[in-house]
Amino acid sequence: MEDGQGILLEVDDLNVSFAIQGGRVEAVRGVSFTVRKGSVLALVGESGSGKSVIAQSILRILPRNGSIDSGRILFHDVSAPDGTVDIATLTERDPYLYQMRGGRISMVFQEPMTALSPLYTIGNQVEEALRLHHRQDAQLARAETVEILRLVGFPDPQKGYERFPFELSGGLRQRAVIAMALICNPALVIADEPTTALDVTVQAQILGLMKELQKKFHTSILLITHDLGVVANMADEVVVAYHGKVMEAGPVETIFRHPEHPYLKALMAAVPHFEMKPGERLVSLREMGNENAGDLAQIASRFQARRPLTDGKPHLEVKNLTKEFVVRKGSFFKAGESSRVLAVDDVSFAIRPGECLGLVGESGCGKTTISKMIMRALTASSGEVWMNSASGMIDVLKLHGPQLLDFRRKVQMIFQDPFSSLNPRMTVHNILEEPFIIHGIGNKQERKRDIIDLMTMVGLDPRFLNRYPHSFSGGQRQRIGIARALALHPELLICDEPVSALDVSVQAQILNLLNDLRSELGLTSLFISHNLAVVNYVAERIAVMCRGQLVEMAPREVLFANPVHPYTKALLASVPYPDLDRLLDFENIQFSGADDVSHWGKAFLPSEGSRLAGIEVEKGHFILANNNADMRELV
């Protein structure tokens, strides 16, 4: 054993298992690694790799059915009796455990929405850790809490102290959680997917903040993540876990420049990145068994989308679409003054037949609202949507009755969450048959044949038809969702974040499947995502949205090579690359967020006597700018 100099935490041959009905599941199998003082160790893996279980073991907060079977977790810290303590052997009620939790080892969680109790103020919850570990009088504790809130970037920490979690944005909530983790000045912070639930620009800010504070306090961080881009930007050392075992470990340089293990190599190949050549395919980690290209082409011929006449008109045209929500402000007891919020503000775009348009933006920018209006699930405040269908031009927003029902066949949707978008009480067969029944298509045999073809098309075994959704993995469920969307031979497919709930390797499979199906079936599609790399992989043209407005639209290569709008630039600058030579520039990331207009140039803001309009800076490249602006100011 080493003498412990410079080493903070040693995990040695750790085995953790969970009791489930009819046996035990081994979640962690013989994992060993060390965390050095003042350094960042990244623990990388997909869901089910046991990475979160390792974190829970270190803090001894495993769920009740989990237990540490063997192994040591040595914590070398001044607080420990004799300087070293084996956390794995502490009893459940050991006083040191409570002293250590939050005091010497603290945790930052994935979901800032649910990691804080909605019933207490931010100040109360952050301060609690401080008062538990350093007995202090209320006033001092409050002053210290306000100070740490200021440090993590609360714009008005005095006020922030009094706020409730639900009154804050996701980014600010995560800052509060970080403040909670740091307030006792711990030796080790375990960050479990700290930025996964956040928008990309907010992610960059939070990563920058963590790095800055880590340097300042000389804290060690155990960073748990599935995102290799985050790892490249944050870690000093990397441990790659798969199915509860360590596949590869080493300094970040070695891991990224000379990956050894096939799993690590495959993981890196599965991530879409911006340097992909047109037509380059992602290599998915595990190919589906029965993907047969010949079959697909043959079956697909029956499911081909009916294309409109090629008369040069766009397949779908959205003109000046606007949606206004009325928000009741104020509190329960006060009569609230209501304000109007423009969720979608005068958005116009067109999609050509067979084209895939990517719609990118951060949460709350209105991208899903647009898709719902096209689907006629929400009523637009004003504007028009025209569809050049095989059966003629359709004024989508004016449809009603039987025409609307008929229109629903033409537009289908693939949803974000494959877990809640399938009814758990229906078999796959029922799920796929339902669209046929609703629209009264075919008899039993015809439907059966179609359903089997649909299953083959999305790469699922037709023998699975009598199973229920819960017996499938996330990726398989998303395939079922895709099959359901294709059942009615739609002309337009709207994909709303179809891969954001999936693991990297599964994401690659689904993206490849969508690309194949799109080209085989000739589908026109609208692909909504917050992930620029994913959109880059599937879309031909990309539209960027910010605060309900479409700020930039360009062909894919143009947008990535030559972004013009400050928002697009900020968005692109915030994407962490899994590449050590292209690290994020933390110094220049705007603290207030990319949609803070005060950083935008004059040309992109409305001024008196002029308004914002779509301006074509080069062929097919539009940006939203002041219509009096000089061309030179823009480019």
Partner 1 sequence: MLAYIFKRILYMVPTLVLISILVFTLIELPPGDYFETYVNALLESGEKIDQQQLEFLRQEYGFDLPPYQRYFKWAGGLLQGDLGYSFEYQLPVSEVIGDRLLLTMIVTFFTILFTWIIAFPIGIYSATHQYSWGDYGLTFLGLLGLATPNFLLALVLLYLAKEWFGTTIGGLYDPEFIGQPMSWAKFVSVLEHLWIPVIVIGTSGTAGMIRRVRANLLDELRKPYVTTARAKGVPEFRALMKYPFRMSLNFFIADIGGILPQVISGAELVAIVLSLQTTGPLLVTALQSQDMYLAGSFLMLLAFLTVIGVLISDIALAILDPRIRLAGGVSR
Binding residues vs partner 1 (CB under 8 A): 59, 61, 98-103, 106-107, 109, 111, 114-120, 125, 128-129, 132-133, 164, 166-167, 177, 180, 325-336, 338, 378
DSSP string, 228-287: HHHHHHH-SEEEEEETTEEEEEEEHHHHHHS--SHHHHHHHHHS--TTPPTTPPP--SS-
**Do 238 and 42 touch, CB atoms closer than 8 A?**
yes
How distant is the alpha carbon of residue 307 from its chain centre?
33
Kind and range of the H or E run holding 618? strand 612-618
Closest separation in Å from C-beta 331 to partner 1: 5
Residue 635's CB is within 10 A of a number of other CB atoms, namely: 11
Pick the closer one to partner 1 by CB: 101 or 273. Answer: 101
Distance CA(330)–CA(338), nearest Å, equals 8
Residue type, 55: A
- State the minimum distance, in angstroms, from the CB of residue 164 to partner 1: 5
Q: Take residue 268 and report the two structure tokens written for it.
A: 């890196």
Q: Which residue is listed with tokens 């623990």? A: 43
In what helix (H) or strand (E) does residue 486 lie, and over which residues does it extend? Answer: helix 474-486
CB of 204 to partner 1, least distance (A): 24
Shortest spacing between CB 185 and partner 1, in angstroms: 14
Our CB check for partner 1 shows the closer of 167 and 618 to be 167
Give whichever of 1 and 335 is closer to partner 1, judged by the CB atom. Answer: 335
| Closer of 109 and 303 to partner 1 (Cβ) | 109
> Quick check: helix, strand or coil at residue 162?
helix
- Burial call 417-429: b when 16+ CB within 10 Å, e when fewer: bbeebbeeeeebb
Task: Tell me whether residue 189 or residue 521 sits nearer to partner 1 (CB atom).
Answer: 189
Could you say which DSSP state residue 278 is in? Answer: T
Phi, psi angle pair for 167, to nearest 5°: -90, -5
8 A C-beta contact, residue 322 and residue 380: yes
For partner 1, which is the closer residue by CB, 6 or 118? Answer: 118
Nearer to partner 1, 9 or 356 (CB): 9
CB of 323 to partner 1, least distance (A): 10
Count of all residues that appear for the chain in the document = 635
Name the residue nearer to partner 1 (CB basis): 63 or 620.
Answer: 63
DSSP string of 416-445, one letter each residue: S-TTTSS-TTS-HHHHHHHHHHHTT-S-HH
Nearest approach, Cβ of residue 208 and partner 1 (Å): 23
Least Å distance, CB 124 to partner 1, is: 9
Looking at the Cβ atoms of 455 and 501, the one nearer to partner 1 is 501
Distances, alpha carbon 368 to alpha carbons 20, 323, 481, 571, in Å: 39, 12, 18, 18
Shortest spacing between CB 332 and partner 1, in angstroms: 5
CB of 192 to partner 1, least distance (A): 10
Radius of gyration, CA atoms only, the chain: 26
DSSP assignment, residue 77? Answer: -
